[in-house]
Amino acid sequence: MVDGGHLENEEFLVKVPQFFHIANEKHITVRLSTKRLVVHDSVEGNAEFDTVNRPHYDVSQKSQNIRVDDNSKEVYQLLVRISYGSKAQKTKCSTVVNSDNLDKFWQDYSNAVKNGMSGLIKKKKKKSKTKSAKTHKK
């Protein structure tokens, strides 16, 4: 295990098909999430968390602005999580991916997820009424 209880990337990629297999057998939902990992520094604080004094870090304001600012030269890691079940029976695992390993990890991860989703069933849609049927009801 990596620091903080995260699995190594290879261990995580072995767990992904297992999670999907168990979830498919039990007919339960698998939750996948990815986000940028910003380790919180409680002593000095993080610029990313101080949007009052540093508004250029405010994501809600950045979405309104098309211009790209290079305020941070820091390279962040990616946190990838997978879980199934709920509350007391929740099973989960996560890994931290470095930016230099991201391409290889993402290919392996996407293949594992695609293979795990082979049991999905396409929902049948109701046929919509035609225009002539709608006009006759008025």
Q: Is residue 137 domain-resident?
A: no
Whether the CA torsion 46, 51, 57, 63 is positive or negative: it is positive
Give 63-113 pLDDT, tens digit per residue: 566 665 566 677 889 999 999 988 888 999 999 999 999 999 999 999 999
- Domain enclosing residue 103, as ranges: 3-66+74-120
The predicted pLDDT at position 138 comes to: 54
* Sheet architecture: strand order including 77-84: 30-37, 77-84, 91-97
The predicted pLDDT at position 20 comes to: 92
Give 11-48 pLDDT, tens digit per residue: 999 999 999 999 888 888 899 999 988 777 777 777 66
Asked if the model's pLDDT at residue 135 lies above 80, the reply is no
Give 103-124 pLDDT, tens digit per residue: 999 999 999 999 988 766 677 7
Q: Is residue 7 domain-resident?
A: yes
Asked if the model's pLDDT at residue 130 lies above 70, the reply is no
Residue 82 makes CB contacts below 8 A (sequence gap 6+) with 12, 15, 16, 19, 30, 31, 32, 33, 92, 93, 94
Q: Is residue 138 domain-resident?
A: no
- Rounded CA-CA distance 29/84 in Å is 6
Q: Is residue 126 domain-resident?
A: no
Tokens of 32: 């996948």
Residue 113, domain CATH: 3.30.720.10
The predicted pLDDT at position 124 comes to: 77
The predicted pLDDT at position 88 comes to: 87
pTM over 0.85: no
Domain count, the chain: 1
Mapped onto helix, strand or coil, the DSSP state of residue 46 is: coil
